[in-house]
Structure 1
Amino acid sequence: MTVDAVNPQQITVGVLALQGGVIEHISLLQKAAAQLSSRSSTPTPQFSFIQVRTAAQLSQCDALIIPGGESTTMAIVARRLGLLDPLREFVKVQHKPTWGTCAGLVMLASAASATKQGGQELIGGLDVKVLRNRYGTQLQSFVGDLRLPFLEEGEPFRGVFIRAPVVEEIITTAGDDEVTKLKGKQVEVMGTYPKPQGTGEGEDIVAVRQGNVFGTSFHPELTDDVRIHTWWLKQVVEGLKSGGRDVQAQS
């Protein structure tokens, strides 16, 4: 069957281009899409990747990545560009697949602690409270091995932590069962990392998912490891299908 015969539907994935590793994310997305196509025994959708700086560009997107940076600054810039409310609509009303890395995780949280004086505006979408700068300043950045059960078997993922937040609380409220029925999903812990020495026992939560919203404390885009981007693109396709969109394949 030819491409024209199936009229393939393109999936447009945006990367919010206000700060952070925008180009790096797009580069790994391109590699992930190529890997999906080469490894699949069935036709895969056609992906397009764009930088998002305006509400009009956001409206073209079927899915979005919010990269790292400084979350307070990102919120201020998004407000000035008229993007903050469209982002909330995108994530919380349209329920489109969204992934936030580091500051992006902060932006997608319902609440944040250790914020600058006066607090900051958030997009929301994940029923979690995050602790900003869990591991200290940029000078205390580090790379740590992560066992992420949602990835295919292989070497540990080398997580890059730069002034990284962690999820310190999964928020539950009265009537949570009804909220869950409406939203369809509860928060899932997708990855953890041992707490720093002297800060208690156990592990910090560094990756979570709630429905179509995914967040990581670390920066997968600053590695050559394409596994998380590949996994996420698969989730995008499944999320769009479950949302009622007829995602057709490229043949």
Structure 2
Amino acid sequence: MLKAGVIAVQGDVAEHADAIRRAADRHGEDCTVESIRSAGVVPECDLLLLPGGESTTISRLLAEEGIDEEIEAFAAAGKPLLATCAGLIVASRDAKDDRVSTLDILDVSVDRNAFGRQKDSFEAAIDVEGLDEPFPAVFIRAPLIDEVDAAVETLAAVDDRPVAVRQDNVVGTSFHPELTDDSRIHGLAFFS
């Protein structure tokens, strides 16, 4: 049985846990999901999710709890990791904000809240590499991926701007895939 961990210092933990379970079921995998709030659990996981929230708070709490180094080691070990919205910011090489201590596990540069404020939130059906039909992406104060290293594959774009990327075992999205009933992004990141 696979063990998935959802970093639970802030963000949509329950929604992601449900999406992971649905994706696992759809792919014929048995998977338990654990919320992670302290060090020591990440190394036990087979899959890891770094959710959205507020990136400065997330990065601070990860460091305070000692989870940041465990996430870096997890990614370096080649295990599947999905980072969404603020999780993408924290996972990036550069958040363009000194208040965010990035993990540098995804070789992209990210501009926080570049798609606008809360009132500028939107949904869009986007084509995602590896999915056979458009995905209903939900963008809430979404970051913009503005630089992508050659080692990073762009999986989806909105107005020619990357919104989903993959670098080896790490997938990052600007949007919130957990806010839909569609678990295909979780499936793509973890079970494909």
- Aligned pairs (5 A) from 1:82-121: 82-92=66-76, 94-113=77-96, 115=97, 118-121=98-101
How far apart are 1:230 and its partner, in Å?
A: 2.3
Give the aligned partner of residue 17 of structure 2: 26
- Aligned pairs (5 A) from 1:27-42: 27-37=18-28
Give the aligned partner of residue 170 of structure 2: 213
Structure number with higher strand proportion: 2
Deviations 1:33-55 (A, max 9, x none): 22222xxxxxxx43221111122
Tell me, what secondary structure is at the counterpart of 2:62? Answer: helix
Q: Kindly tell me the number of residue pairs found equivalent between the two proteins.
A: 192
- Greater Rg over alpha carbons, structure: 1
Amino acid at match of 1:69: G
Is 1:159 the counterpart of 2:121? The answer is no
Instruction: List alignment gaps of at least 5 residues for structure 1.
Output: 1-9, 38-44, 173-185, 195-202, 236-251
**What TM-score do the two structures reach when normalised by structure 1?**
0.73
**What TM-score do the two structures reach when normalised by structure 2?**
0.94
Give the aligned partner of residue 66 of structure 1: 50
Give the CA RMSD over aligned residues: 1.4
The runs of 4+ residues in structure 1 deviating greater than 4 Å are none
Q: In structure 1, how many angstroms separate the alpha carbons of the residues matched to 2:187 and 2:172?
A: 15
Q: In structure 1, how many angstroms separate the alpha carbons of the residues matched to 2:100 and 2:17?
A: 27
Give the aligned partner of residue 118 of structure 2: 138
Amino acid at match of 1:192: A
Amino acid at match of 1:142: F
Deviations 1:162-205 (A, max 9, x none): 11112101246xxxxxxxxxxxxx211110001xxxxxxxx110
Quote the sequence identity (%).
39
Is 1:228 the counterpart of 2:185? The answer is yes
Give the aligned partner of residue 193 of structure 1: 158
Give the aligned partner of residue 178 of structure 1: none
Give the aligned partner of residue 79 of structure 1: 63
Instruction: List alignment gaps of at least 5 residues for structure 2.
Output: none
Q: In structure 1, how many angstroms separate the alpha carbons of the residues matched to 2:177 and 2:24?
A: 16
Deviations 1:137-184 (A, max 9, x none): 112111112111311x23x21110011112101246xxxxxxxxxxxx
